[in-house]
Structure 1
């Protein structure tokens, strides 16, 4: 009988240890993780707690970091979208004459990561690619681009002051988070500014993303002309819901399976998917 307390205590300790090992292994198996750092293997004398801390430091999970950064954000409702549309059309009546140009939507982070993988396939990453989101909202796609490991610089431009301010706050949180990872493969310069996409010089970017689902035909026509004129040869365009087959110096991106330059992408809090079309600028206009 005197042995029971000792046996019970030992059993609880073993169970706790097994649980810690199981949790550590589960973290190692987390989806879309990349191991970073070069600290070497732990010595045999390291405790399980030290291994847990090392695992937390080494595992880089883009989707998990994204969700942590934006955990307090609520998906914008239609009422908020209407407020944004009214604000933008009042501030810029000459360019944005149609309220539907400014309705707000969000892309699922994992779907965006897949899109970036497809859109950068075949590109030389050694020199560092530059990304921009035209109409970046609260900066979520800019953050995803920075976390993807594909870009040396990720930029966003947003015309609505309230959204731009919120994007700048989110990017500041992301920078602070990324400082914990010393591996240079995750070093990405990130910038968000408040401004009009039609005032931007697009010649410096390698990958341009536009969530154009509700853009009016007039706005899309203006945007196509700007993209055709300013994008550099070899740069890629990912545009949601709008075909650009009529841009004579663009071709559908051939890295997409089947060479059709199209991919369905998932939305946040919506059951249906959106069509995203991917193009590459192949030549300058005559």
Structure 2
């Protein structure tokens, strides 16, 4: 068993991160496997070296261990772009120049009705879908033609071992098309690569057998399984756990510094106190 914890260094880790990291670490340890730390630092505008250093400090303090050096996504942008180019050669990617303002205008038209919302937000209406890659311009996003992608994929299913959705899941192809839409895979000139593509590529590269993560990412699993099928990559088992929430039932976010692991550490709590606090 190989599990991983893959935070983005855009803020302090909070109790929800502690729950996820400890769950992944413990599952690997119990199986005599390996727990990996991966740094997902593709968002150059928000990622900071000081936040990355704090990630290491927090996880070390909690008692976790992992092989070093760790994989940093920013070191592999060229590989992700090559993967996108592979899909483009198969006619599965097209350039899109739509801005957020364009999308809001298109979706606010009276005849459109209420827009569908998927794991990446409002489902793209397909405005640029007919554009060929030869029409690509500077600044265009590169979108996956999900209708063609679903038609090109063979088996679309995955195993879930988490407490909320256990069992074998066969993905509804039509629901994937209508409920997810043509997701952005990357932006050519900025070096920005979408989470879905990078995480799929890295899980396969690192041999991850069990993806342990929060329930909020369960709806993202079908599109990631689709990408695995398109690239001929193995599909790991998934384990989506419950989220740690505040007193009002809201899931924790990095902006909630009051529940940061480092804040509790500085207040004198021990790692055992954190384990108790998150219910493990």
Asked if Structure 1 and Structure 2 have the same fold, meaning a TM-score greater than 0.5 normalized by the shorter chain, the answer is no
Scaled by the length of structure 2, the TM-score of the pair is 0.31
Scaled by the length of structure 1, the TM-score of the pair is 0.30
**Higher Cα Rg: structure 1 or 2?**
1
